[in-house]
Amino acid sequence: MAIRRRKFESIGNTGFSTNSAQTEGGRLTNKDGSINLRKTGRPFWERISMYHTILAMHPLKFLLIVFLFYTTLNVFFATIYIIIGVENLKGIIPNDDILTNFQQAFFFSSQTLTTVGYGHISPSGLWANIVASLESFIGILAFALVTGILYGRFSRPKAYIQFSHNMIIAPFKGITALMVRMATYKNNHLTDVEAAVNIAMHVEENGARIRKFFPLELELKRINSMALSWTLVHPINEDSPLYGMTEQELLDADLEVLYFINAFDDHFSNVVKQRTSYTGKELVFGAKFLPMFHRSEDNSTTILDLSKINAYEKAELPEMVISSVNA
């Protein structure tokens, strides 16, 4: 069967470059939606936003950093109390053992930093009072900052969307289609969900191998509510830049498919966004997704099994009509 090859108009508003393939460094977008990019040319502290970094940090890592910050401050001020003399702290009995003195100064510091002040130990003398006043001031600022960051982390709108591990080429209405499945994994509810898909491919142009971007039209690009899972389907017909490409041609094109999701979250009462990408290595040919929801045993509710979001089985494809993008 002779396949008519067409030219497709590429898009240039993706925010990514269409330069030579020699300038690329791996995938464009990571699986978690972050951009696979490292910036240079300016000092490190000018290239990083601590607020954005802390907001996106893993919860356990965030708690560890807060604990280390708290401990370091206490060690710092305990050392100062040792230097000015623990005899200037009423309630502490000076000891010949430096570790015992440091331990008592450390716990006094923790009480001062948190403004707890049990009253067992109190500063005496000018320098001890100056250090204690400075420490309590820093403690107020530090805990206000940590509280604000904690609130920002908990209140930050997030889509909580889980995508299938793979994208598949599946039979679809007598042809083939590129499919990806997604679902929300929290007890949130998304409405007015919209999806947009672009594909980055390497093509030959004027004797050079360059990367170009093409939009992929979806069978359904918007749904009113995502109560269950949603399979994003791109029919591979004559209007698709994938039309007529063989499996090997797709792999040789070093493709990367970029998915962009916009939705409204009822709980946050705000718009949430999420993105991800798939490379040719994550593409499965000749498969179809298996159902991931079923009735409960008492037929009173629907069970959505998130562990099956990537479950698929082999499927017979019609004749492969998936023409190479020769712009």
CATH of the domain at 283: 2.60.40.1400
State how far the Cα of 47 lies from the Cα of 23, in Å rounded to an integer: 22
Q: What is the residue range of 95's domain?
A: 46-155
Q: What is the residue-wise DSSP string for 30-83?
A: -TTS-B-----SS-HHHH--HHHHHHTS-HHHHHHHHHHHHHHHHHHHHHHHHH
Phi (first) and psi of residue 50, to 5 degrees:
-60, -35
**What is the number of alpha carbons within 13 Å of residue 180 lying toward its C-beta?**
27
Task: Give just the sign of the alpha carbon dihedral 43, 45, 48, 49.
Answer: negative
Q: Identify the residue whose tokens are 């494809």.
A: 317
State how far the Cα of 181 lies from the Cα of 195, in Å rounded to an integer: 12
Q: Side chain identity at 149, as an amino acid letter? A: I
Do 61 and 189 share a structural domain?
no
Do 88 and 167 share a structural domain?
no
**Helical axes 126-155 vs 59-84, angle rounded to 10°:** 180
Structural domains of the chain, count:
2
- Of 164, 158, 203, the closest CA to residue 180 belongs to 164
Do 302 and 180 share a structural domain?
yes
User: What was the pLDDT predicted at 246?
Assistant: 83
Do 150 and 166 share a structural domain?
no
Three-state DSSP at 10 gives coil
State how far the Cα of 126 lies from the Cα of 202, in Å rounded to an integer: 72
Do 301 and 191 share a structural domain?
yes
- Look up the CATH number of the domain holding residue 145: 1.10.287.70
- Residue 271: CB partners within 8 Å, gap ≥ 6? 157, 262, 263, 264, 265
- Of 284, 83, 65, the closest CA to residue 168 belongs to 284
Token readout for 144 is 């206000």
Determine, yes or no, domain membership for 222: yes
Do 164 and 148 share a structural domain?
no
Q: Decide which of 97, 131, 155 is a domain's last residue.
A: 155
pTM score: 0.78
User: What was the pLDDT predicted at 216?
Assistant: 93
Q: What is the residue-wise DSSP string for 229-260?
A: -EEEEEEESTTSTTTT--HHHHHHTT-EEEEE
State how far the Cα of 124 lies from the Cα of 136, in Å rounded to an integer: 15
- Of 146, 144, 133, the closest CA to residue 68 belongs to 146
Do 217 and 113 share a structural domain?
no
Do 183 and 289 share a structural domain?
yes
Do 310 and 165 share a structural domain?
yes
Question: pLDDT tens track of the chain, all 327 residues?
Answer: 334 445 666 666 666 656 645 556 677 788 877 877 777 788 877 788 888 888 888 899 999 999 999 999 999 999 999 988 888 888 877 777 888 889 888 988 998 898 887 777 788 888 888 998 999 999 999 989 999 999 888 888 889 999 999 999 999 988 999 999 999 998 888 999 999 999 988 877 777 778 888 999 999 999 999 988 999 999 999 889 998 888 888 888 888 999 999 999 988 889 999 999 999 889 999 999 999 988 888 888 989 999 999 999 999 888 654 433 333
Q: What is the residue-wise DSSP string for 248-306?
A: HHHHHTT-EEEEEEEEEETTTTEEEEEEEEEEGGGEEESEEEPP-EEE-TTSSSEEE-G
Q: Decide which of 131, 155, 179 is a domain's last residue.
A: 155
Do 287 and 206 share a structural domain?
yes
**Helical axes 98-113 vs 59-84, angle rounded to 10°:** 120
Do 272 and 130 share a structural domain?
no
Determine, yes or no, domain membership for 22: no
